Amino acid sequence: MTELTNHRLDTAGFEAERAEILQSWPTGTGVSFAEAVKVQEALPTEKRFPVALAAADAQGMTLLQPRAGVALVREHAALLNGLSPYCDVLPTTIDAYTRHNRYTEAQDGIDRSRAAGTSLLNGFPAVNHGVDGCRRLVDAVSKPVQVRHGTPDARLLAEITLAAGFSSFEGGGISYNIPYAKHVPLERSIRHWQYCDRLVGRFEEEGVSINREPFGPLTGTLVPPFVSHVVAILEGLLALEQGVKCITLGYGQAGNVAQDIAALRSLRRLAHHYFLNAGYADYKLTTVFHQWMGGFPADEAQATAVICLGALVARQARATKIIVKTPHEASGVPTLEANQAGLKATRQMVNMISDQNRVDSPDIQMEIDVIEAEVHAVMREILRLGRGDIARGAVAAFQTGAMDVPFAPARANLGKLTPVRDNHGAIRLFDVGNVPLPADVLAFHRDKIAERALCERREPSFNMVVDDVRAISASKLVGRPA
């Protein structure tokens, strides 16, 4: 493998790599690109993800999308059809074995699920079901379907699902490595995702638009907005270089209303800034807001309140799409009914916020200023480390800790940056680690944390962080001492 750079993969190399990937598991031989283009072209308008996003963006609407995936095709189709009346676009959540390319274990899970009469897998094993199984699924539903997963090497998954008529693909070389893997080198996952993006680029060249969505929330636990914004911008740039044209950037709810609104508003602006400055103009940008990704209350009424707070913020900040949680979140994979309940609660909230005036306040503007200063500082360092190349720069930045994702399992992540909530629940930096933020920004973080420490009459420490991680599941936002 040649040294990683942010350049479009050349055709000969891509074709050679594709031949190898399609041989790596028996269902791969069912993929033909010419056939795949025909399948995509034959999709009716109402099943095309980019069309749904563009319409929502043009009309200022917010789309609702649940998460869902079970082991078998027929059961999964029934699940999606049960969710379909309550949402705008559909998901297919991939199981955790497939995410790690462990197809033998996925097959075992399929067999045992068949025997048990219930899904023992936490998602849909699309690679094992192959192009035919996935096509049966796409044919059985009436809305656009997206692949949602967490796969560092998703090349075969992308080939199979896009050949079957899925029209959106989540993930990225950073966002599907750092929070989702342990030993995968970052240069390898970025390179594998250049392949996925190039595949989408090839469809675009054939006149078939496919949506790409870098995964916004990362570890979902007290992630400072600038951290996820930098990853979103990097993955957007990497995708654009490979010919992707329809990009949805994401952000996961942190909990403080002003900070969350500021984060979504700044994300769109910052992304355009970096995309246009890098010379890309022919793209469509939309946003996705993830309802709270951390620990949920076990009580279903309390969980619904968390869901509604997310819906309020997403709609207030005019996200193009919301990824909806369920009242079963604390117990893992939800039932159809619980999933419907999350969608209904979100819809009610979105409808009630839709007609209201835009909320603005000095607090929101101040948060935007801080996020922008942070993102620019880190992006400058990434460009410096990569000598102008963001792929190389991203790898180097994670090595030095100039980029650092809190609570991530990956060895490729330094893990020194430690967040904590301030007195109002906004996420600040307890330990900046090696992230090169400006002195005035650091002073701002210090002051905000000091204000909380004074109020709680205790020194800031890792215990405060632990309290914050567990606070929302214990019905609070800030983890105050008992």
Partner 1 sequence: MSTESQDYKIVLGVIGADCHAVGNRILTSVLTQGGIDVVNLGVMVAQDEFIEAALSEQAGAILVSSIYGHGELDCQDFRARCEERGLTDIVLYVGGNLVIGKQEFSVVEAQFREMGFDRVFHPSADLQEVIGLLKADIDANRPAQLARNSRPLADERLGLSA
Query: Which residues belong to the annotated binding site for L-glutamate?
Result: 67, 99, 148-149, 170, 176, 180
> What kind and span of H or E run contains 169?
strand 168-170
Residues in 369-408 at the binding interface with partner 1, rule: CB under 8 A: 407-408
CB 94, min distance to partner 1, A: 12
Exactly one of 24, 81, 84, 122 binds partner 1 (CB under 8 A); which one? 122
Question: In this chain, which stretch among 120-128, 239-247, 253-261, 309-317 interacts with partner 1, using CB under 8 A?
Answer: 120-128
Q: Chain centroid to CA 473: how far?
A: 22
Number of neighbouring beta carbons within 10 Å of residue 51: 18
Contact 416, 423 (CB under 8 A): no
Q: Chain centroid to CA 276: how far?
A: 22
Task: Kindly state whether residue 102 participates in binding partner 1, applying the rule CB under 8 A.
Answer: yes
Q: Which residue(s) pair with 284 in the sheet?
A: 246
Question: In this chain, which stretch among 9-17, 175-183, 279-287, 378-386 interacts with partner 1, using CB under 8 A?
Answer: 175-183
Nearer to partner 1, 105 or 369 (CB): 105
Task: Kindly state whether residue 324 participates in binding partner 1, applying the rule CB under 8 A.
Answer: no
Q: Give the annotated binding-site residues.
A: 67, 69, 99, 122, 148-149, 170, 176, 179-180, 296, 325, 329
Exactly one of 295, 401, 433, 436 binds partner 1 (CB under 8 A); which one? 295
Count of residues of this chain found to bind partner 1 when the rule CB under 8 A is applied = 41
Question: In this chain, which stretch among 176-184, 238-246, 257-265, 267-275 interacts with partner 1, using CB under 8 A?
Answer: 176-184
Nearer to partner 1, 279 or 481 (CB): 481
Question: In this chain, which stretch among 6-14, 82-90, 233-241, 331-339 interacts with partner 1, using CB under 8 A?
Answer: 331-339
Q: Which residue(s) pair with 250 in the sheet?
A: 288
Amino acid at 141: V
CB 110, min distance to partner 1, A: 11
Of the residues 48, 99, 265, 318, which is catalytic?
A: 99
Exactly one of 221, 253, 259, 291 binds partner 1 (CB under 8 A); which one? 221
Nearest to 267 by CA among 312, 204, 314, 300: 314
Contact 247, 239 (CB under 8 A): yes
Task: Kindly state whether residue 330 participates in binding partner 1, applying the rule CB under 8 A.
Answer: yes
b/e burial code for range 377-413 (CB count within 10 A of at least 16 → b): bbbebbbebbeebbbbbbbbbbbebbbbbbbbbbebb
Task: Write down the residue that tokens 């790690």 correspond to.
Answer: 100
Residues ≥6 apart with Cβ < 8 Å to 358: 316
Question: In a 3-state reduction of DSSP, which class is residue 476?
Answer: coil
CB 103, min distance to partner 1, A: 12
Is residue 135 part of the annotated active site? The answer reads no
Task: Kindly state whether residue 107 participates in binding partner 1, applying the rule CB under 8 A.
Answer: no
Which two tokens mark 334?
């939800």
Task: Write down the residue that tokens 């890792």 correspond to.
Answer: 462
**Half-sphere exposure (Cβ direction) of 453: Cα atoms closer than 13 Å:** 17
Task: Kindly state whether residue 193 participates in binding partner 1, applying the rule CB under 8 A.
Answer: no
Give burial (CB, 10 Å; 0-12/13-18/19+) of 320: buried
Exactly one of 28, 30, 125, 150 binds partner 1 (CB under 8 A); which one? 150
Is residue 170 part of the annotated active site? The answer reads yes
Task: Kindly state whether residue 477 participates in binding partner 1, applying the rule CB under 8 A.
Answer: no
Q: Give the annotated binding-site residues for adenosylcob(III)alamin.
A: 69, 122, 179, 296, 325, 329
Of the residues 170, 204, 241, 367, which is catalytic?
A: 170
Q: Are strands 168-170 and 211-213 parallel, antiparallel or unpaired?
A: parallel
CB 1, min distance to partner 1, A: 24
CB 381, min distance to partner 1, A: 25
Residues in 452-471 at the binding interface with partner 1, rule: CB under 8 A: 462, 466, 469-470
Task: Kindly state whether residue 181 participates in binding partner 1, applying the rule CB under 8 A.
Answer: yes
Task: Kindly state whether residue 332 participates in binding partner 1, applying the rule CB under 8 A.
Answer: yes
> If you compute the radius of gyration of the chain from its CA atoms, what whole number of angstroms results?
21
**Cα angle 446, 452, 457; round to 5:** 115
First to last CA, the chain: 55
Signed CA dihedral, 365, 370, 375, 380: sign only: positive
Active site residues: 99, 170
Give residues in contact with partner 1 (CB under 8 A).
Answer: 95-97, 99-100, 102, 105, 108-109, 112, 118-122, 150, 179-182, 219, 221, 294-295, 298, 328, 330-335, 338, 407-409, 462, 466, 469-470, 473
